[in-house]
Amino acid sequence: MKSEVVITEDQLPGDVIEAVERGQKIEAIKLLREATGLGLANAKVLVDRAARKHAPKKPLPSFADEPSGLSNLVKSLALMLFVFAAWYFYQNS
């Protein structure tokens, strides 16, 4: 009878955690399978759970970080104002 390994994402080997922290989930799954003999699906679930806690965080894009975003908005508003002023002028002539 084959003995089953019971492991949680908090009990992962150190090299698996390091791979997750580097963002290398496939490598982490390979290392976990070699260390524990788990199947692919179970190893993937554990690595995905560990990634929620240990994976590098990706910064969300922000309009404040991009000065071109604000200048494009100002240019668009100025163009709309010009078009509206031209339309209003020619309507009342």
70 and 50 share one domain: no
| For residue 58, pLDDT beyond 90 | no
pLDDT, residue 1, reads 41
13 and 48 share one domain: yes
| For residue 55, pLDDT beyond 70 | yes
Q: How many CB atoms lie within 10 A of CB 50?
A: 23
49 and 70 share one domain: no
pLDDT tens-place string over residues 6-44: 777 778 888 999 999 888 999 999 999 999 889 999 999
What's 92's DSSP letter?
-
Domain residue limits at 83: 65-93
Maximum pairwise Cα distance, the chain: 94
pLDDT, residue 68, reads 61
pLDDT tens-place string over residues 83-92: 999 999 888 7
- Count: domains in the chain: 2
